[in-house]
């Protein structure tokens, strides 16, 4: 169930003014890696540009200096090799945290993830397991074009044996990443790079926000974790349920606020295993369900969500389940805002679902 109410109180941070410590998502991820590496010397971090340079998004900055080259290091440009090395390290007993620079480039490592990492516990009847967390920036809204914008989460949720986790706030990013690293199953940790620096609300023509003014950028120091498989109730309301994750949590919230709609927005946080209880409880309360994701529509994770809601909440539904997604095209460069499931597309879906 929702974690909102039992969230641990953030400790007083190191901000000179005495305010709570506020981090953006990059800093929160960096902090999570630092905490995990500090607690367990079996945690190793590696990937392209991850070591000396600290990552193209700065998520691993300072780790090599602090923990040494054998704990945080650069790799050849080979996603297959990166994932395979992590699997071998996992079999040895390490807790590898490989980075794939963009989710769009995870496919050369896909066979190693799907055929190997996801299956090793099963095929060896538990003799071997791969406690690996693959971190990878994903999602669009940054003019990344076809190969810096994709959201391939459904390619992973479809494979048995792998967990898929997506944070939407700095607080969650740290707590969820620590949980992933400590989890004994392989996890794909998708980082919505559009909201690395601020909670993008989908209104691309307005000034960009940063995390400092957002309540969920208060990130406690030290160790804390958020359980996998638990959704977060972002807002509460009776008019409908919105199932979403990543960047789209903020977009959906902003659109609902603009339109004065009161809804349960569920930030799913973990796609597999899904918090089905939270989904069921909310949809049965509201009777209406809208699913929002950036990924393309056909066979996207929204299709699974829609099917589950239909199967479990059929007699409570008062309107067809709405899916607001990217279009079934490769991610375009110049036509980004026509592709992105932003306020206009969400607004139209809301008008339709709330008509009655």
User: Between 95 and 114, how does the x/- string for binding to another protein read (CB under 8 A)?
Assistant: -x-----------x--xx--
Q: Among 59, 85, 249, 349, which residue sits at the site for another protein (rule: CB under 8 A)?
A: 85
Q: Among 22, 71, 269, 281, which residue sits at the site for another protein (rule: CB under 8 A)?
A: 71
Burial status of residue 149 (CB atoms within 10 A of its CB: 0-12, 13-18, 19 or more): buried
Beta carbon of residue 250, minimum distance to another protein (angstroms, whole number):
28
Beta carbon of residue 136, minimum distance to another protein (angstroms, whole number):
18
Q: Is 53 in the site for another protein (CB under 8 A)?
A: no
Picking from 356, 295, 346, 296, the residue whose alpha carbon sits closest to that of residue 320 is: 356
Q: Is 93 in the site for another protein (CB under 8 A)?
A: yes
**Residues in 123-162 at the binding interface with another protein, rule: CB under 8 A:** 123-129, 160-161
Compare residues 41 and 262 and give the one whose CB is closer to another protein: 41
Asked whether the beta carbons of 214 and 168 are under 8 A apart, the reply is no
Beta carbon of residue 66, minimum distance to another protein (angstroms, whole number):
16
Q: How far apart are CA 45 and CA 63, in angstroms?
A: 8
Q: How far apart are CA 273 and CA 120, in angstroms?
A: 18
Active site residues: 148
The 3-class secondary structure across 193-256, one letter per residue, is HHHCCCCCCCCCCCCCCCHHHCHHHECCCCCCCCCCCCCEEEECCCCEEEEECCHHHHHHHHHH
Q: Is 303 in the site for another protein (CB under 8 A)?
A: no
Q: Is 78 in the site for another protein (CB under 8 A)?
A: yes
Strand, coil or helix: 322: strand
Beta carbon of residue 18, minimum distance to another protein (angstroms, whole number):
41
User: Between 204 and 243, how does the x/- string for binding to another protein read (CB under 8 A)?
Assistant: -------------------------x--------------
Give the range of 8-16, 90-98, 134-142, 232-240 binding another protein by CB under 8 A.
90-98
Q: Is 63 in the site for another protein (CB under 8 A)?
A: no
Burial status of residue 76 (CB atoms within 10 A of its CB: 0-12, 13-18, 19 or more): exposed
Q: Is 47 in the site for another protein (CB under 8 A)?
A: no
Asked whether the beta carbons of 264 and 231 are under 8 A apart, the reply is no
Q: How far apart are CA 210 and CA 216, in angstroms?
A: 12
Beta carbon of residue 161, minimum distance to another protein (angstroms, whole number):
5
Q: Is 309 in the site for another protein (CB under 8 A)?
A: no
Q: Is 92 in the site for another protein (CB under 8 A)?
A: yes
Instruction: Give the CA-trace dihedral at 234, 239, 241, 245, to 10 degrees.
Output: -40
Q: How far apart are CA 303 and CA 45, in angstroms?
A: 34
Q: Is 87 in the site for another protein (CB under 8 A)?
A: yes
Q: Two tokens at 90?
A: 């996992």
The contact set with another protein (CB under 8 A) reads 44, 70-71, 75-76, 78, 80-81, 84-89, 91-94, 96, 108, 111-112, 115-116, 119-129, 160-161, 163, 183-185, 229, 272-274, 276
């Amino acid at each position: 169930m929702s974690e909102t109410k039992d969230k641990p109180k953030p400790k007083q941070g190191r901000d000179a003014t005495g305010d709570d410590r506020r981090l953006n998502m990059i800093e929160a991820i960096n902090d999570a890696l630092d905490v995990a590496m500090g607690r367990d010397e079996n945690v190793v971090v590696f990937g392209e540009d991850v070591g000396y340079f600290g990552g193209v998004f700065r998520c691993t900055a300072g780790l090599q200096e602090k923990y040494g080259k054998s704990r945080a290091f650069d790799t050849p440009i080979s996603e297959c090799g990166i994932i395979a090395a992590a699997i071998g390290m996992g079999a040895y007993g390490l807790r590898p945290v490989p980075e794939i620079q963009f989710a769009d480039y995870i496919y050369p490592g896909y066979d190693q993830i799907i055929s190997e990492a996801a299956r090793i516990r099963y095929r060896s009847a538990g003799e071997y397991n791969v406690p690996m967390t693959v971190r990878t920036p994903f999602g669009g809204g940054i003019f990344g074009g076809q190969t810096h914008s994709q959201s391939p989460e459904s390619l992973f949720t479809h494979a048995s044996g792998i967990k898929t986790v997506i944070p939407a706030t700095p607080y969650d990013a740290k707590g969820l990443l620590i949980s992933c690293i400590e989890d004994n199953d392989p996890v794909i940790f998708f980082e919505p790079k559009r909201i690395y620096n601020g909670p993008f609300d989908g209104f691309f023509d307005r000034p960009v926000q940063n995390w400092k003014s957002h309540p969920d950028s208060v990130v406690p120091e030290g160790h804390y974790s958020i359980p996998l498989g638990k959704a977060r109730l972002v807002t509460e309301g009776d008019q409908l349920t919105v199932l979403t994750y990543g960047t789209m949590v903020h977009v959906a919230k902003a659109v609902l606020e603009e339109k004065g709609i009161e809804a349960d927005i569920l930030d799913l946080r973990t796609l597999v295993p899904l918090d089905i209880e939270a989904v069921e409880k909310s949809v049965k309360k509201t009777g209406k369900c809208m699913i929002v994701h950036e990924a393309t529509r056909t066979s996207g994770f929204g299709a699974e969500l829609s099917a589950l809601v239909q199967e479990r909440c059929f007699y409570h539904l008062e309107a067809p389940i709405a899916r607001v997604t990217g279009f079934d095209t490769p991610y375009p460069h110049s036509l980004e805002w026509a592709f992105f499931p932003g306020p206009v597309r969400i607004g139209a879906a809301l008008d339709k679902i709330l008509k009655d």
